[in-house]
Structure 1
């Protein structure tokens, strides 16, 4: 497993990005649960954010691609608006225990 951050470094309603050697990760906490996705828009294959750790729309309720405005559900990664509607972000398997958010290695070994 790969350590992403301490649990208290991903607070409710905020997002963070992580650049690992194998994959770029976006993490967001919603209702106490950390959700992890590959930081790659399914429309153009580019990173979602323009500024570090800025992945949420203005309401804080959806993930947003800063390049073309596509909106994604936090709980599933499904694109609900924009040019990639019907597609989704690639979910990554993680866990939270002992005050740490972990990314499971087998997630990043799968093909994109």
Structure 2
């Protein structure tokens, strides 16, 4: 497993970017659960953020691709609006324990 951060560094409704083994990742906490995705829009294969750790739309309820405006559900990564509607972000396995948040080995 790869350590990402202490649990306290990812608050409810917050998203953060990480890099592990040259892979860009997005971690988001939604309803107390940490979800982890590759930071790669299925439409063009580019990162979602426009500034570091800026992944959420203005309502804070969806992940948003800054380049094309695609919107993704926090808990599934499914694209619900934009050029990749019906596709999804690549979900990764997150593990949270007393030490913090981890990316589980593939």
**Band the TM-score falls in, shorter-chain normalisation:** over 0.9
Q: Which residue of 1 aligns with 2:87?
A: 87
Q: CA RMSD in A?
A: 0.8
Structure 1 length as normaliser, TM-score? 0.92
More strand by share: 2
Structure 1 residues 79-104: Cα deviation after superposition (integer angstroms, max 9, x where no partner): 00000000000000011001400101
Conserved 8 A contact 1:8-1:99: no
Cα shift at 1:105: 1.6
What is the alpha-carbon distance in structure 1 between the residues aligned to residue 32 and residue 39 of structure 2?
Answer: 21
3-state DSSP of counterpart to 1:105:
coil
What count of residue pairs does the alignment treat as equivalent? 106
Return structure 1 stretches of 4+ with deviation > 6 angstroms. none
More helix by share: 1
Structure 1: runs of 5+ lacking an equivalent: 107-112
